Chains A and B, each alone.
Chain A
């Protein structure tokens, strides 16, 4: 009888960065682990929390209101920045959505010219725009090392005014088929570097894109235990039905 697999997920600033149902991503990860007998422990990282990043297997950073983001940005960079950066370079698996995604990049240039620094672990930068980019979105699946199901497109809902531009050190998560994507210009949606995925997709992202949820879980298990770990399959009929209904509605 193998030992029960355990994963630790650090959720950054759950009180301030919890807009647009992003906690659905945590629910999705927790349930998909539970259904497989994997225990997922969620640790909230609030302002001024000490956390040993080297003991974490997953990290999640959601979007927030502007006021919430301003409150946490300083703490994030000063308190967590260096240690989290090291853990991410070391392969910590992370999903960052919207505001969380922006804060992992080099900087955010607001539309009135203020330059707000980010962690800079992702080679992207964001420029504030006037018009918000809002709507349903379909992105082609482009995760590297595609196991068969990664070829599925994924769906989400974007709602952001920042335009995020990629540098050479990240690769896009996928290509926008319908919607705006990171900047409404180059059809890139989301950025990937090491085991970090950053993107603008709410919806929330993981429940209706189970292939992405499993990708994160699998990466975390392989990093922690053994590169040969596999995931037992789940019945994803309802999830894929929801995903495909939107894909079809948007004419892909």
Chain B
């Protein structure tokens, strides 16, 4: 029986939720949770305890939205009623609001399993409150240092929380990220690793934005036999011997098909699985690998995993293709931190086969709270590979000028850079600049993507974001 306090909190939160939706105040994704938690701080704990199949939490700097969506599709087609924070509200208040939405005023929850994409900083609290049966940690890169602090501090908080999980819980970790793989040592919970084994995707250079390149045990510099990007790769410590754990689930082969799709061969303890993934880039292949690993651990049928991933559509703005009524293709890809931005640029340029080919590009950089108010990260991202392929580039957003300076110092001539802080005008200019039939690539930060989305919805080209996938 629910306590009176929880009942009050539930009633208040739900009322606010219904009100914000009725009054059309936008997504209304956090406020109800915030208010309800003021009345009953244990509400998330109380409500998640009633989910018969428990809770799955997934975190990481990059790829959490995409991977969680892959999992949601998988769980649904596996027959579960899934509660998923698909609008991306991934703070503790957002998780609370998500479960509020599925709770009727009386009676049981309209869901069997909770699947929560969880903010990096919110993970320890989320673990404490939801007592998850499964936690997935995907990667850890520098991101919004003004908000999260240093990556090492974050990793320490994660480790502390994971140590509390019982033997019935399962932790799934990326073996290729030393900061993440290390989390699996000494846990009571069961641990499964996934990792990339296709050496053809390694780069030769060590990356300047590698954050976790020092041995977690003794502080020595890791030696990498393969580096995929940033500090992701095959590493070992020449001093104490600490090394990448051998993953149980491996990406044995990956064939990228430009900006369109990729073909994966995944090896797991019982066999192999071939997947046609309709998403480009190494990082999306690793997202699919993580989702597949969770699938194997939960006992999903390999054929189902194959089918669901082959039919996957990315979330709004992650990698989204739309067309203007005139038939102009637009590719939207979110950028929000140096590693993600560098990988997105690698994806854009790797699809180019002819030297003369140009990329029509619009970059939208905002510095609102959700983007991170510090845009120093632009200088840690590799924009240099773009310069050979730009004829003209438009920069927009509250930090359009900063982006312009970054491009100039990456080697783009000042005359090629057009500054247009207003997003609506920038989109119009960018479309005008794009040759007929060519794709316009738009790379926005998070809030810029929401604004872009609103702008495109106004034109009737896309749905408003909170209706996405509903």
Contacts and interface: CB of A to CB of B under 8 A. Distances in A.
B152 A21 contact: no
Given A66-B152, A134-B146, A238-B417, A202 B376 contact: yes
Interface string B3-45: 0000000000000000000000000000000000000000000
B214 A207 contact: no
Interface string B209-223: 111011000010100
A24 B219 CA distance: 26
A18 B378 contact: no
Q: Which of B375, B376, B402, B409 has the largest number of chain A CB atoms within 10 A?
A: B376
Nearest to A136: B373
Interface string B198-241: 00000000001111011000010100000000000000000000
A67 B218 CA distance: 12
B152 A241 contact: no
Q: Which residue, of B214, B219, B405, B414, has the highest number of chain A Cβ atoms within 10 A?
A: B405
Q: Which size bracket describes the interface of A in this complex?
A: 35 or more
A20 interface: yes
Given A207-B406, A238-B417, A242-B402, A19 B379 contact: no
B145 A19 contact: yes
A238 B414 contact: yes
Contacts of B376: 20-22, 24, 157, 202-204
A22 B376 CA distance: 8
A33 to B, nearest CB: 12
Contacts of A43: none
Interface in A210-225: none
Contacts of A14: 208
B433 interface: no
A21 B146 CA distance: 13
Interface string A42-84: 0000000000000000000000011110010000000000000
B354 to A, nearest CB: 28
Contact of B402 (A22, A208, A235): A208
Contacts, number: 93
Nearest to A242: B401
A161 B146 CA distance: 12
A24 B379 contact: yes
A204 to B, nearest CB: 5
A245 B419 CA distance: 12
B401 A207 contact: no
B150 interface: yes
Contact of B152 (A67, A159, A238): A67
B409 A24 contact: yes
B233 to A, nearest CB: 15
Interface in B324-368: 338
A237 interface: yes
B151 A65 contact: yes
A3 B208 CA distance: 33
A63 to B, nearest CB: 10
Given A21-B380, A65-B152, A202-B376, A241 B214 contact: no
Contacts of B89: none
A186 interface: no
A159 B146 contact: yes
B455 interface: no
Given A23-B208, A66-B152, A157-B374, A207 B404 contact: no
A202 B377 CA distance: 10
A15 interface: yes
Interface of B: 142, 145-146, 149-153, 208-211, 213-214, 219, 221, 338, 373-380, 401-402, 404-406, 408-409, 414, 417, 419
In the complex, the 4 A-B pairs of residues with the closest C-beta atoms, listed nearest first = A24-B379, A21-B376, A21-B379, A242-B401
22 contacts: A14-B208, A15-B210, A15-B213, A18-B209, A20-B145, A20-B376, A21-B338, A23-B379, A27-B379, A66-B150, A66-B153, A67-B214, A67-B219, A68-B214, A135-B146, A136-B373, A157-B376, A202-B374, A203-B376, A207-B409, A238-B404, A242-B405
Given A19-B145, A65-B211, 14 more contacts: A15-B213, A18-B208, A20-B145, A21-B376, A24-B409, A65-B152, A66-B150, A67-B150, A71-B214, A157-B374, A159-B145, A238-B404, A241-B419, A242-B401
